[in-house]
Amino acid sequence: MRQRSTGLAAAIAGLLATAAATPGLAGGPLYRYVDERGVIHFTDAPTDSRFDPVNPPDPDASRSARAYDGVISLVARMQDVPPALVKAVIRTESNFNRLAVSPKGAQGLMQLMPSTAQHLGVQDPFESFQNVEGGVRYLRRLIDRYGSWRLALAAYNAGPEAVDHYGGIPPYRETREYVRKVLAYYDRYDADFAR
């Protein structure tokens, strides 16, 4: 019986992902999370940080965790940021989908807002190298500003103004969950990059 319900959930997830990737079939982006009982929840208007985007597949690259390791390694070393941290931010922000667009308009692998991309000189936020290079430069500035990965990540998510206002990680559930996720992915990806 458990296998049947899991199979049904997988079929529903597949149909919803197809709908999300097919223009006109879905009204907007979809989000999902799996609860502690293994139940998959979908929404088009997430109000909970546990939801992750169900993005259309990137036609130009595999969405595997290693698809962008070369770009990540090069750019991270240029900015003296650990590549595993950059990879963790990308995983949390876009799930390695260079075509991802958030409901708020953030774009590409590192989910740069158009104004931030423009400020960083990123002309095409959907071009992998430009997006990662701009995002890592921004992350480096935040690390230098706050002297702490946790605060830099909070500022990447909620904005430096929020971190300054609260004198630390803002009391936003989304931001606290974001910092937790990135650091957990960092631990997972640390072994992907040779020292």
In this prediction, residue 2 carries a pLDDT of 41
pTM value? 0.69
Indicate which residue of 93, 133, 161, 174 is catalytic.
Answer: 93
Q: Residue 48: how many CB atoms within 10 A of its CB? A: 12
Active site residue 36: no
Tokens of 15: 């149909």
Rounded Cα–Cα distance for residues 124 and 107 (Å)? 10
Digitized pLDDT (tens) for each residue of the chain, 195 residues in all: 344 444 555 545 444 444 444 433 334 566 677 878 878 777 777 777 777 766 554 444 444 678 899 999 999 999 999 999 999 999 999 999 999 999 999 999 999 999 999 999 999 999 999 999 999 999 999 999 999 999 999 999 999 999 999 999 999 999 999 999 999 999 999 988 876
Q: Which candidate, 186, 86, 159, 18, places its Cα nearest to that of 169? A: 159
